[in-house]
Amino acid sequence: MLRVRDGLRDGLGGEVTYLRVSLTRQTNLARLRGSVRDLTHPDGRPMSRNEAVHLIKVFTSLGIRKVRLTGGEPLLRRDLETIVAGISPEVEGLVHLTTNGTLLARRARALADAGLAGVNLNLDAAERAAFRKVTGKDALGKALAGLEAAQRAGLRVKLNAVVVRGWNEDQILPLVRLAQREGVHLRFIECMPRRGEVWELDRFMPAAEILRTIREGLGTDLVEETGQPGEDGPARLFRLPGQAGKVGIISALNTNACDHCHRVRLTSHGELKLCRFGPPKADLLTALRHHATQASLVRLLRQALQAKRPCHPLQRSGLLEVAQGLWQVGG
């Protein structure tokens, strides 16, 4: 696909270089999200393999330099390796995957061969009983096998954990110890509400408390890394004493990362989202299915990006509500 001279800029003048693409809303595990958990979701008619590759190439023609494939659970797509192979040359191999890891062990090598560079493993518990509690399945062994297979395949691995009081705050230290053993980076994320969810504030565990739990549990201070926000986005990073791994803390509700946000999202139904908060801004898939040209899709993208606002809706209104479940937009 032809490269477009001018790249993507949002309504705030920021350069957009990172695309997150949800390939399916379907999941094979429940995942902790506040007072309710995400269950398997009917997907309707999501993007086909060719449609996903085509739309991603439109973005890469405009200067997108990194693509993350998400879900739901993207490994439920049997054509995932083909999608990765189709887009990895467009971003010089900077294709990453977010997964719960339970289906990864048998496919990690093929995905690496197709051009996948790294994996973010959603892991909200590091002990068997706790994992079963938060996901509804006794599948921790499969998730850890996926982690090991990804490392053997040469993929860069990170762990993501959402913390909810009363559900898995006792897993903070086991997850840190797992990250230490495996030498991988671990990011703790404040839980976020979603539309239709009764938000219980007593379940909310702020980033400061998560960090204090780590420090007290390890019996040592953590050294924070400083510098400009990079691929870890809004995460504050801390080095683990004597370890290669790092711990990141993402304060999703209280930190305004909008000024340096460089990402947009594409839902599994081809809808462009400028932010995880708020509604879609453009239906690219319908346009594509009506035979829109590359130039038409580029115009649609540029027009939608001008709607970017200075801060996300939670900070503007103070309402703890997300327009869609995060499983629909890939987190």
pLDDT tens readout for residues 219-239: 988 888 876 555 556 678 998
Residue 158 lies in a domain: yes
Any residues with CB less than 8 A from the CB of 216 and at least 6 apart, and which? none
Q: Phi and psi for 128 in degrees, rounded to 5? A: -60, -50
Confidence of residue 187 (pLDDT cuts 50, 70, 90): very high
Residue 232 is predicted with a pLDDT of: 55
pTM of the shown model: 0.88
Confidence of residue 155 (pLDDT cuts 50, 70, 90): very high
pLDDT tens readout for residues 284-297: 999 999 999 999 99
Residue 258's domain spans which residues? 8-329
Residue 223 lies in a domain: yes
Residue 304 lies in a domain: yes
Which ranges of the chain would DSSP assign to H, the alpha helix?
A: 49-60, 80-87, 108-114, 128-135, 140-152, 172-182, 207-218, 284-289, 294-305, 313-317, 326-329
Mean of per-residue pLDDT scores for the chain: 84
pLDDT tens readout for residues 56-99: 999 999 999 999 999 999 999 999 999 999 999 999 889 999 99
Q: Tell whether the torsion through CA atoms of 98, 76, 1 and 88 is positive or negative.
A: positive
Residue 186 lies in a domain: yes
Residue 3 lies in a domain: no
pLDDT tens readout for residues 224-279: 887 655 555 667 899 877 777 789 998 866 555 566 677 899 999 999 998 766 66
Count CB atoms within 10 A of the CB of residue 303.
11
Q: How many domains does the chain have?
A: 1
Which ranges of 29-90 would DSSP assign to H, the alpha helix?
A: 49-60, 80-87
CATH classification at residue 307? 3.20.20.70
Residue 292 lies in a domain: yes
Confidence of residue 328 (pLDDT cuts 50, 70, 90): very low
What's the longest Cα–Cα distance across the chain? 60
d(CA 127, CA 278): 35
Confidence of residue 322 (pLDDT cuts 50, 70, 90): very low
Residue 316 lies in a domain: yes
